[in-house]
Structure 1
Amino acid sequence: MKKILVYLVIALVSVLISYQLYRSSMPFLQQVDLRLKDTRFRIRGPMQPDPRVVVVAIDNKSIKEIGRWPWSREVMGDLVAALARSGAKVTALDAVFSEPQGIGPDAAFSRAIEGAGNVVMGYFFRSDEQKMDPEVLEQIGNSKVKLLKIASGVASVPLNEYSFLDGNIALLGRKARSFGFFNAQSDSDAVFRRAPLLYLFNGDVYPSLSLKALEQYLETQPMVDVAEFGVRSVSLGQINIPVNEKGQLSLNFYGPSGTFPTYSAVDVIKNRLPEGALKGKIAFVGATEIGIYDLRPTPLDPVQPGVDLHATVASNALQGKFLMHDSRTLGVEMGIMVALPFLLALVLAFVPSTVIGIACSLGTVALYCGANYWLFSRWLLDMSILYPVLPVFFLSVGAEGYRSLVVERKGRYMKKAFSNYVSADLVAQIMKNPDSLKLGGEKREISVLFTDIRGFTTLSESLSPEALVSLLNEYLSPMTTIVLEEKGTLDKYIGDAVMAIYNAPLDVPGHPEHACNTAIRMIRRLETLNESFKERGMQPIEIGAGINTGDAVVGNMGADMRFDYTAIGDTVNLASRLEGLNKLYGTKIIVSGTTKEGGGHEGQYRELDLVAVKGKRQPVAIYELLLEPSPIQVPFAEALARYRARDFAAALAQFQKLVDAYGDAPSALYVSRCRELLENPPPQEWDGVFVAKSK
């Protein structure tokens, strides 16, 4: 629970940092987010625009045939007239004719505009001071938005406002159907992704060229709903255009330049178009020739003609395919910014390693990006990609920092502390769940194994120090490996002796059997070692093993400067005594009754004696663990029963048979005891318990 709370706190801090960055609108982060959003268009690919919207291009072909731009007003008049003859319902001019060319040319153009009756002329606002013709201002003033729904308490419409404009000369504007501005506004990285539909001028709201062309095409006036925070919505009849508070529409781009049905202006003038190509359509007239420089970098084309932006607005509206970027999408973004890091924090709290943690974080980011793209392509939600991912990034950094500095530091300490005397499996469990390890002292049931080399003192006197150390290393290495493979904990080396414990520091199910397996494997491994020793002219060695199972106190014990993980208590002492009894009985492995009960290896035990070891009053039953079942077990048990029944003569005879037939060392010991007891009968209260007076 503590770990979960830590990760949740890191998630909360990550959310707060990300929220502040979200509100600060740092240019760098905004540009990164915008570029990531641009990728969605490239993945989606081109989309079919509305067929009712076309572009009439002042392109390279037209300039080569007609002459360089700007053209004479007579040519422009011919173009407007040709569009009307071709059946275009609305002609929107993405150009301004602010300077007179002469009475004749201007009049010709004016007559063509009047004859067409469908021309929406363009103009643009500017910030620098400009002399303006009152008649032009009056003409343009007639195109302002007349249907305004302003919420109570709104003193002024919160839109970008301009004080000056460049308009068409009065003669041309007198016969125009309406007017619309064609200002464009790029993002901080100079890429055009939005189209301003509304601006303020002299306190009134004015529509863009695309919005005014739609008004004429749909024959309905736009209504602007204004709240305290800005524009709430723009509607044209049944079409609701989802602009932001500044009256800007996020453009749902269809593709690069040429995606819209595009016709050369010269072909329109010279009537080269297929029959009905322009009938009933909105024709946006604008320059696409590179040399004219009316080009805008967009997410899908670094040199997209500006006229395509107006066409995109109109097509989005007619198809109803708007990118949704308003208060609703902002709310969803904020919700995801909170939900993602907290959910990931709950996952990371249970993740065992840095690699998996990073994989989970990357998976979360990939999942969100996939969902973001699906919402974009399916529902046209224009949601941020970067900002909901930022708290995930901060959480990942914080979580991995915490894991490295606290959790894995503790784990590295544990690994270093235990790897030399705990099996790799147990170390892995400790690293996976450090809280399962209780450092310090605790009482728990364990199995304890002691082994010792027989006659080591005599052996050490016959070898040089170097040879003795080499022999010990050659013996102890495989024995230690066996302990670790059987999930034991190597407690210590005591000269030539080995002490191992099982079921500590972590639980080891079936620990008595693991201890018994260790002893048997050690004896068998020693047989191989002895063959190697004999081949090198060295003296073979023998070992004895003692195993006991019971409660003991285990933990890190020692001084501040040095401590070891070990076990203490009667269970440990008895295991040590059992190992020593092998010398008396001539056996290799002696186990206690508690070990026999859980030690497995059924059919491989024989009871040796009831012994009161040194330091203990209560006798314990001890058993020899044989390497494999033996025919000696049943007759030995029968002889032992006669011995305890005080029938020493019969027991002597049966034990002697076992000595003669098998050379059995425990039987030889009992032969000696029986003879002594026949000569000196025990007292009446004798219970068959052997008192071991030495270790």
Structure 2
Amino acid sequence: MRLRHASTLIAAALAGLWGACLALPHWRGGSDLLDRVEAPLADLRFVIQGPRPAPDAITIVAIDDRTIQTTGSYPLPRATMARLVSSLALMKPNVIALDILFIDPGPPEGDLALAEALRKAPSVLAAAGVFKPGEHASRDPGDRGLDARLPEAANVLLPLGSLAGAAALGVVNIAIDASGVPRHVPLLLRSGDRIVPSFPLRAASVAAKQDPVLRPDGIDLGGASIRTEAGYALPLRFYGPGGTIRTVSASEVLNGTLAEDAVRGRTVVIGATVTGGGDTFSTPFDPVLPGVEVLATAIAHLTEGDGLVRDGSVRSVDAAMAVILPVLFVLLLSWQRSAWGFALIAGIALGWIGVTAAAFTRGIWLSASLPLLAAGPAVAFFGAAQLWLDRRRADHLSAQSRTLRRFQPPSLTERLTKDPTFLMQPIRQQAAVIFIDLSGFTGMTEIIPLDETREVLRGFHTLVDEEAVAHHGIVASFMGDGAMILFGLPDPSPQDAGNALAACLALCARMEIWLAALPVRIATRLGFKIGAHYGGILASRLGGDSHQHITATGDTVNVASRLMEVAAARGADVALSDALLQAAGPIRSVLRSGSLDGPQATPIRGRAGSIPAWFWRREPPPAR
């Protein structure tokens, strides 16, 4: 038991260590393997949660197919863009953010007009980070640890100098996972010695008319506290499919049909949604969500504070569960390896998934994959090891049981298995007792080798055991060339006396055949005698603490043993007490197969008085 407890504790410690090894990289910011597993589970939670209403403080002005039909060209001429910005500025938005890269120069008069329009309104222009091969914006900026290191770009593509000086700048890079789903927006990007803010952060700052305050675990902006991941990565919490955020066509602005209240006091994001012209991303709600709506979603998180929270404290909870669940499951398996144990483990795992789903609806992104990936192998390996050990124990116990059956009768073995306390206290009951002994055995051992003596005894014991079992008796003990057989253990029966009588005759028949099969020099020296009696016995265990055996004591046992001596003296094969013969009932008819004398008053050595006894002899074989 101590060894089992020690092995369970070692297994639990190893399971906790395995969970800690998985939890460490996640706690430090993420691992590619875990993120790949977690991504579809996060998408599933988005679907379970369903679309949410988008904030009313953001409006997307889309350069869509209708706008291109109106203007007749794409990209829009700089002069047209200037007119679009100027028209929006007249409606007094908080900020106009253009998700368009103005890298190449256009007609001078158009660039000049756009610059003038940008200066007259709070505006933000898009820049883009260029990453080295092997590093790109889709990399989780937190995968380098919790030291707030930022994603590094080899270069930043900036707008034309004339335009860059007319508006604030922000990079539009979005971090996507292996399946192409945008998961984060890096709020800050490093390029050489410069730190460049993201397009959403710059737009939210201009709209709030204040600079953000950086904290180790987030950003304070406009009275809202936004908790970010390591490296100031902002997790995206999508509102729904394309169009969930208020979207109007740029053509409505250009032709003057857009209502002013759709823009006044709001953050306006201009971007392309034209077919084949704008960038799109796959999200849980929409396989082709326009990139401008992804950026608008990030801006909404910064202004409303309604994004997902997956900062260091949330990851610490994930890491703690990655250690606790494997240890808990190993202890549960050790305590209960039945179907109930596995059902309890499954229930706890489903419970954790339910907790992550409920937390997700409240904007907290707990990992569903990390604790289960940590617990799964621990449960599998420990469960397999326990099954293997259980099989070994079962094989060992089976071997022990087979060995025990060779030392105890099967009926007693079965009873002791079910009731280990059987006969710890002596029991008085009625039983039939048979004694059988080989006569002439001692003299025979003087003339034959020891190995041959053993084989004779082995044959005799096998014969006695088979007949005892066949007649529902048990061999209580083998005493060299003799044996004591009990009928009534482990449980007494009305047929015990009849079974004993039938066993006496069967033993005589088997002994005659067995003796005839022995070599003549042995068979001529051997005979047998049987005594049987029925009455009260005291069944109990005898022996010390290290070894015990079950037997019967009392006057009935002594009389049966003395009757065996009387049978030898009277030249009978079997000496039966009248008590046994009367208790046997109708089965007494089996005695007709031989010669039966009695009842005769028979003195018993060591016992006062005499008892009525019967003497049975086999019919002599017919003369040749």
Q: State the TM bucket, normalised to the shorter chain.
A: 0.5 to 0.7
- Tell me which residue corresponds to 1:398: 381
Is the contact made by 2:23 and 2:318 (CA closer than 8 Å) also made in structure 1? no
Is the contact made by 2:114 and 2:163 (CA closer than 8 Å) also made in structure 1? yes
- Tell me which residue corresponds to 1:74: 79
Q: Which moved more, 1:239-248 or 1:61-70?
A: 61-70
What does the per-residue CA deviation read over 1:194-222, in whole Å, with 9 as the maximum and x for residues that have no partner? Answer: 11000123423221111111111111211
Taking a change above 3 Å as real, the CA distance of residues 123 and 555 of structure 1, as seen in their structure-2 partners, is same
Correspondence list, 1:68-467, <5 A = 68-115=73-120, 117-127=121-131, 158-176=149-167, 178-225=168-215, 231-274=216-259, 276-353=261-338, 355-378=339-362, 380-414=363-397, 421=410, 444-445=424-425
Name the CA distance, whole Å, in 1 between partners of 2:125 and 2:559: 109
- Tell me which residue corresponds to 2:136: none
* Letter paired with 2:17: L
**Among residues 34, 45, 49, which one is paired with 2:39 in the alignment?**
34
Taking a change above 3 Å as real, the CA distance of residues 244 and 555 of structure 1, as seen in their structure-2 partners, is same
* Matched residues, number: 494
Name the CA distance, whole Å, in 2 between partners of 1:691 and 1:222: 117
Is the contact made by 1:444 and 1:553 (CA closer than 8 Å) also made in structure 2? no
**Among residues 30, 34, 48, which one is paired with 1:43 in the alignment?**
48
* SS of equivalent residue, structure 1 residue 180: strand
Name the CA distance, whole Å, in 1 between partners of 2:346 and 2:47: 22
Correspondence list, 1:653-668, <5 A = none
* Letter paired with 2:316: G
Name the CA distance, whole Å, in 1 between partners of 2:42 and 2:413: 48
What does the per-residue CA deviation read over 1:290-325, in whole Å, with 9 as the maximum and x for residues that have no partner? Answer: 412411223443322221222222222333223222
Structure 1 position 275, deviation (Å): 5.3
Name the CA distance, whole Å, in 2 between partners of 1:424 and 1:104: 107
What does the per-residue CA deviation read over 1:460-495, in whole Å, with 9 as the maximum and x for residues that have no partner? Answer: xxxxxxxxxxxxxxxxxxxxxxxxxxxxxxx98735
Name the CA distance, whole Å, in 2 between partners of 1:579 and 1:69: 119
- Tell me which residue corresponds to 1:658: none
* SS of equivalent residue, structure 2 residue 97: strand
Structure 1 position 119, deviation (Å): 1.6
Is the contact made by 2:538 and 2:554 (CA closer than 8 Å) also made in structure 1? no
Q: Which moved more, 1:306-315 or 1:288-297?
A: 288-297
Taking a change above 3 Å as real, the CA distance of residues 26 and 326 of structure 1, as seen in their structure-2 partners, is closer
Q: What TM-score results when the alignment is normalised by the length of structure 2? A: 0.66
* SS of equivalent residue, structure 1 residue 54: strand
Is the contact made by 2:536 and 2:554 (CA closer than 8 Å) also made in structure 1? no
Structure 1 position 447, deviation (Å): 6.8
Structure 1 position 364, deviation (Å): 2.6
What does the per-residue CA deviation read over 1:146-177, in whole Å, with 9 as the maximum and x for residues that have no partner? Answer: xxxxxxxxxx973223352222222333332x
- Tell me which residue corresponds to 2:594: none
Structure 1 position 84, deviation (Å): 2.3
Is the contact made by 2:426 and 2:541 (CA closer than 8 Å) also made in structure 1? yes
**Among residues 61, 67, 78, which one is paired with 1:62 in the alignment?**
67
- Tell me which residue corresponds to 2:470: 496
Taking a change above 3 Å as real, the CA distance of residues 517 and 451 of structure 1, as seen in their structure-2 partners, is closer
* Letter paired with 1:246: G
Name the CA distance, whole Å, in 1 between partners of 2:187 and 2:300: 14
* SS of equivalent residue, structure 2 residue 268: strand
* SS of equivalent residue, structure 2 residue 182: coil
Q: Which moved more, 1:180-189 or 1:45-54?
A: 180-189
* SS of equivalent residue, structure 1 residue 95: coil
Q: Which moved more, 1:106-115 or 1:407-416?
A: 407-416
Name the CA distance, whole Å, in 2 between partners of 1:338 and 1:368: 14
Name the CA distance, whole Å, in 1 between partners of 2:610 and 2:275: 112
* SS of equivalent residue, structure 1 residue 317: helix
Is the contact made by 1:15 and 1:338 (CA closer than 8 Å) also made in structure 2? yes
Name the CA distance, whole Å, in 1 between partners of 2:182 and 2:43: 11
Taking a change above 3 Å as real, the CA distance of residues 373 and 493 of structure 1, as seen in their structure-2 partners, is farther
Q: Which moved more, 1:306-315 or 1:548-557?
A: 548-557
**Among residues 568, 577, 580, which one is paired with 1:584 in the alignment?**
577
- % identical equivalent positions: 23
Name the CA distance, whole Å, in 1 between partners of 2:45 and 2:467: 66
* Letter paired with 2:304: Q
Structure 1 position 395, deviation (Å): 2.2
* Letter paired with 2:175: Q
Q: What TM-score results when the alignment is normalised by the length of structure 1? A: 0.60
- Tell me which residue corresponds to 2:568: none
* Letter paired with 1:393: G
- Tell me which residue corresponds to 2:440: none
Name the CA distance, whole Å, in 1 between partners of 2:392 and 2:321: 33
* Letter paired with 2:18: I
Structure 1 position 280, deviation (Å): 1.2
- Tell me which residue corresponds to 2:493: 519
What does the per-residue CA deviation read over 1:263-309, in whole Å, with 9 as the maximum and x for residues that have no partner? Answer: 12222322333452222111111123341241122344332222122
- Tell me which residue corresponds to 2:552: 571
Name the CA distance, whole Å, in 2 between partners of 1:328 and 1:233: 12
* Letter paired with 1:367: G
Q: Which moved more, 1:89-98 or 1:357-366?
A: 357-366
* SS of equivalent residue, structure 1 residue 348: helix
> Unaligned stretches of 5+ in structure 2?
134-146, 435-464, 476-487, 500-532, 564-574, 586-597, 616-624
What value does the CA root-mean-square deviation take over the aligned residues?
4.8
Is the contact made by 1:161 and 1:199 (CA closer than 8 Å) also made in structure 2? yes
Structure 1 position 241, deviation (Å): 1.7
Is the contact made by 2:182 and 2:283 (CA closer than 8 Å) also made in structure 1? yes
Taking a change above 3 Å as real, the CA distance of residues 686 and 247 of structure 1, as seen in their structure-2 partners, is closer
Structure 1 position 361, deviation (Å): 3.0
Structure 1 position 425, deviation (Å): 10
Taking a change above 3 Å as real, the CA distance of residues 424 and 445 of structure 1, as seen in their structure-2 partners, is closer
What does the per-residue CA deviation read over 1:557-611, in whole Å, with 9 as the maximum and x for residues that have no partner? Answer: 9xxxxxxxxx734338999889999963556999xxxxxxxxxxxxxxxxxxxxx
Taking a change above 3 Å as real, the CA distance of residues 212 and 555 of structure 1, as seen in their structure-2 partners, is same
Name the CA distance, whole Å, in 2 between partners of 1:376 and 1:497: 74
Is the contact made by 1:92 and 1:213 (CA closer than 8 Å) also made in structure 2? yes
* Letter paired with 2:470: D
Name the CA distance, whole Å, in 1 between partners of 2:68 and 2:107: 22
Name the CA distance, whole Å, in 2 between partners of 1:186 and 1:417: 63
- Tell me which residue corresponds to 2:482: none
Taking a change above 3 Å as real, the CA distance of residues 691 and 553 of structure 1, as seen in their structure-2 partners, is farther
Taking a change above 3 Å as real, the CA distance of residues 173 and 395 of structure 1, as seen in their structure-2 partners, is closer
Structure showing greater relative contact order (alpha-carbon pairs closer than 8 Å, 6 or more residues apart)? 2
Is the contact made by 2:310 and 2:365 (CA closer than 8 Å) also made in structure 1? yes
* Letter paired with 1:360: L
Taking a change above 3 Å as real, the CA distance of residues 32 and 546 of structure 1, as seen in their structure-2 partners, is farther
Structure 1 position 375, deviation (Å): 2.5
Is the contact made by 2:51 and 2:240 (CA closer than 8 Å) also made in structure 1? yes
Name the CA distance, whole Å, in 1 between partners of 2:270 and 2:412: 81
Name the CA distance, whole Å, in 2 between partners of 1:335 and 1:690: 84
Is the contact made by 1:547 and 1:575 (CA closer than 8 Å) also made in structure 2? yes
Is the contact made by 1:56 and 1:286 (CA closer than 8 Å) also made in structure 2? yes
